[in-house]
Copies of this chain bind each other. A is one copy, B any other.
Amino acid sequence: MGEFDLIARYFARPLPQGSAGGAIALGTGDDCALLAPAPGMHLAVSSDMLVEGRHFLSTVDPARLGHKALAVNLSDLAACGAEPLGCTLALALPRADAAFLDGFSRGLWALADAAGCPLVGGDTTQGPLNLCITVFGQVPAGQALLRRGAKAGDQIWVSGTVGDARLALEVFRGTLALPGDAFDAVRERMERPTPRVALGVALRGVATAAIDVSDGLLGDLSHLLRASGVGATVQAGVAMTTGATSAHLKALGAERCAAFALSGGDDYELVFTAPASAADAVRAAGAATSTPVTPIGRIDAEAGLRVVDASGRPLDRAFSSFDHFA
């Protein structure tokens, strides 16, 4: 199978006639794709690269990998409140492996179709396995959710739950054991994360600042705080891992569960801020998009990030976030 056969067989498809409407003027097959954002729209752009052994295990199901490679990029659009338009895929493969490509492209296209984010171009080459997706979305000028914008007194919210992916990773690493059903649940969250695109769009004009949780809740929240020039107090033990309600996970201990939730990473949830007066609007955005939203703390004028327990007592433990070069 040559390079052009490979693209034709797995990645080139007619453009969907759908919600993105005429936003894709030209798809795969030319030197560039052509996007036509609606008048008054800004184009939101983000690029994420996934490397074997670092972002995914070599044993991962290729269809799940296809899903995840796009999901982590869609999560960046979600954090800006942008509606997906399309994406490009650059792919380095050790060899043209039909089984891998078939599964990977199916997983990718399934999410692309569901999110209205068709593949419009890219590149394939031989090399150590590497997946680089760039996503394009649109958001009305001036309405993008940014990291700056959080104000003292704002509530801090998180979508869904955090910590599951890290729990699954620790099972793969052999540092803890879970029974089958609990493992299946957290493994699903690690391998098939849910980008919160609809919630991000619904939070336009409601949230004052947002970021997606990829490296760990506290670490990513710290970026938002720095960009906004504020501090925060966060309560440990809320919005915990899905499985944390099970007896098996309770046996891990509250502190370890809190650590996974606060600094586990790979969650692809949104952490965002909104004035206390907008709490009903936040809950309505969550309900309208079938996305759980939970208040986990408040923005302080005082710099720094304080973690407290359920009774408001400060926790001393440091929670470090993921750094690819640390």
Contact = CB atoms under 8 A, between A and B. Distances in A.
Nearest to A46: B32
A280 interface: no
A320 to B, nearest CB: 11
How many copies of this protein are present in the complex?
2
Given A130-B92, A323-B2, A36 B141 contact: yes
Contact of A47 (B43, B122, B128): B122
Contacts of A323: 2-4
A144 interface: yes
Contacts of A238: none
A119 B25 CA distance: 25
A124 B30 CA distance: 28
Interface stretch (A75-83, A165-173, A176-184, A296-304): A75-83
B325 A51 contact: no
A126 interface: yes
A182 to B, nearest CB: 30
A22 to B, nearest CB: 10
A44 interface: yes
A38 B193 CA distance: 35
A9 B277 CA distance: 40
Nearest to A40: B39
| Range for the number of chain A residues in contact with chain B | 35 or more
A126 B92 contact: no
Given A48-B123, A132-B47, A3 B325 contact: yes
A45 interface: yes
B31 A79 contact: yes
B35 A95 contact: no
Contact of A227 (B30, B88, B139): B30
A132 B90 contact: yes
Interface string A1-41: 11110100000000000000000011001111111110100
Interface of A: 1-4, 6, 25-26, 29-37, 39, 42-49, 51-55, 76-77, 79-80, 82, 88-92, 95-96, 120-128, 130, 132, 134, 136-137, 139, 141, 144, 146-147, 210-212, 227, 323-326
User: 9 closest pairs, A vs B, by CB?
Assistant: A51-B127, A132-B132, A49-B90, A31-B79, A32-B44, A128-B128, A134-B134, A47-B88, A35-B43
